[in-house]
Homo-oligomer: A and B are copies of this chain.
């Protein structure tokens, strides 16, 4: 099947938003999604974007049963390791179920890798839920390794009241502005 991988534009945010919801349904986390099409437009396509995106698109005659030609996407951004330097982080990788097994997911991941290498990155990082064995198998086949299992890395998070409290702590101690 012919498909194209290209940079996402503002006009793709409606489809990215649709696919983010589909990916969340697959991961059983639909209730966690706070991001709207408008958030994506503001945060990804303004002067200092928080992320970049790529789209997998098929020709009109291969469109999905419900009429979509944008059938996959990846969101990524650049990060930094104080050990190894420039890195690229793949936040999402998604292909609509009826288009899987055609190399589209691998092509999206390859494009993120290619863009990362071109920007001087030496690592591609991402996270996977441990129950998602089919994704883990796919990534292992591409030569990826599990930093959490092998080195003991744990992802930690601060949010909500705890983050507000922490950020407010500086009213008392911060001497810089």
Q: Which residues on B sit within 8 Å (CB–CB) of A4? A: 175-176
What 1/0 flags go to A142-168 for Cβ under 8 Å of B? 111111110111111111111111111
Of the residues B91, B149, B154, B166, contact of A124 by C-beta under 8 Å: B166
**Contact between chains at B143 and A158 (CB < 8 Å):** yes
A25 CB within 8 Å of chain B:
no
Q: Check A155 against B20 for contact (C-beta < 8 Å).
A: no
How many residues on chain A are close to B (CB under 8 Å)?
87
Contact, CB under 8 Å: B166 / A107: no
Q: How far is the CB of A162 from chain B (nearest CB, A)?
A: 3
Q: Which residues of B contact A148 (CB under 8 A)?
A: 148, 153-155
Interface flag for A109 (CB, 8 Å): yes
Q: Is the CB of A20 within 8 A of B82?
A: yes
**Chain B neighbourhood of A95, CB < 8 A:** none
- Write out, one digit per residue, whether chain A residues 97-109 have a CB within 8 A of any chain B CB (1) or not (0): 0000001001101
Chain B residue, CB-CB nearest to A123: B159
| Complex A-B: 12 CB contacts under 8 Å | A5-B175, A33-B82, A33-B83, A43-B86, A79-B79, A124-B157, A136-B156, A143-B158, A144-B158, A145-B158, A148-B155, A155-B155
